[in-house]
Amino acid sequence: MKAFDVLPLNEWFPGGNEPLIIAGPCSAESEDQVMATARELKKTGKVRVYRAGIWKPRTRPGEFEGHGAEALKWLQRVKEETGFPVTCEVATAKHVEESLEAGVDILWVGARTTVNPFSVQEIADALKGVDIPVMIKNPVNPDLSLWIGGIERLYRAGINKLVAIHRGFSSFEKSAFRNEPMWEMAINLKTQHPELPIIVDPSHICGNRELLPYISQKAMDLDMQGLMIESHINPATAWTDAKQQVTPEALAQLVGNLTLRKPESQNVEFVSKLEQLRQNIDKLDDQIIQKMAERMQIVEKIGEYKRDNDVTILQVNRWEEIMEKRTSFAKALNLSEAFTHRLLDLIHSESIRRQTEIMNTKPVEHA
Ligand SMILES: O=C(O)C(=O)C[C@]1(C(=O)O)C=C[C@@H](O)C=C1
């Protein structure tokens, strides 16, 4: 995939290798709340950008939908008094226009907007010829192409200071998280577009304060470039997302407790040891692939027998037996049940796919 010619984060937002920490309330509720939160966050010395929701996309109508343009004045005051660059979410061309007029420094596109190419295009069109950094959250559904498509729309409008925000994905399954982290999505984006900075939004992944440190550390361990965390002067009284906001003090503690790691080390001993271990992995991976190919050859042979004898592909009893035996063997070797199940499921799907192909080809006629 073609790389985006974006500016590295460090070039437009100097800060060494420190993670970019963006914090502030979910919603701008009042001038006092916005200012008090900003002053406390400033005192911590841990935050580099101040955020606040001005227009709030709510699931049901009739709930607090943000103060709109009026609250932009409060952000201006935050800038003047604290020196923080400020950022807010925009969902329409009008939001963009009003934010630019108010001197908002960085814009972000929310998850519910990224799902809709019409909306992202409207924002991109409103930004043509404007030199401003834009951050774009992943769409609510786990669709990497849609996320990249949104980034591309902004990029084509001439925005070259772009940041992707990983905020997790909606899921039917009940879990400890408000939005499933599905880290593989961010990892795939990073792999396809290493030039694009990615930051993580632990507040929306977690939906509660308790899990924030875990997700924030994980983001650092996965080499993400920053965090956007909701912080409120008095979270218990927050009008929106009260459970996931933290006080400025708690935010400072969370950031202070992060272990920062670097993607590489120049230490000679480390490098040679790593090289040795990677050679072992290379050997084992080759063996795994070879064994997998051997297994599939047998599966194909079985497929031919089944076709010639009109026997179904799916053999539930046999498959159950395999699952049970392999899982307990794997467990004894310290492999997790979840991993073993996923691996076996993948193998089974491939077996079925191959046998389906064989079933649909005629046997070679023997004279
Ligand atoms: O044992 C079979 O009948 C096979 O076709 C092999 C296999 C497998 O991959 O192990 C594939 C499909 C069946 O559902 C069960 C097992």
Q: Where are the alpha helices (DSSP H) in the chain?
A: 9-12, 31-44, 69-82, 93-101, 111-114, 117-126, 144-156, 183-192, 202-206, 212-221, 248-256, 268-308, 316-332, 337-359
Query: What is this model's ipTM?
Result: 0.98
pLDDT digits (tens, 9 = 90+) for 291-348: 999 999 999 999 999 999 999 999 999 999 999 999 999 999 999 999 999 999 999 9
Domain endpoint, select from 190, 223, 256? 256
Tell me the pLDDT tens digit for each residue of 95-122.
Answer: 999 999 999 999 999 999 999 999 999 9
Residues linked to residue 313 through DSSP beta bridges, in sequence order: none
What is the reported pLDDT for 367?
Answer: 55
Do 196 and 50 reside in the same domain of the chain?
A: yes
Give the binding-site residues of ligand 1, using a 6 Å CB cut-off. Answer: 299, 302, 313-315, 318-319, 322, 348, 351-352
CATH number of the domain that residue 126 is part of:
3.20.20.70
Closest C-alpha among 51, 5, 1, 2 to residue 196? 5
Pocket test for ligand 1, best of 295, 307, 319 (most atoms within 8 A of CB): 319
**Ligand 1: which atom is nearest the Cα of residue 347?**
9
Residues 122 and 171 in one domain: yes
How far is ligand 1, taken at its centre, from the CA of residue 315, in Å? 6
Q: Are 69 and 111 in contact (CB under 8 A)?
A: no
Residues 92 and 57: beta-carbon distance below 8 Å: no
What CATH number does residue 348 fall under? Answer: 1.20.59.10
- Give this prediction's pTM: 0.87
Contact by Cβ (8 Å): 275, 265: no
- Tokens for 55, please give them: 């227009």
Domain end, chosen from 256, 284, 304, is at: 256
365 alpha carbon – ligand 1 mean position (Å) = 25
* Backbone φ, ψ for residue 162 (5° rounding): -120, 145
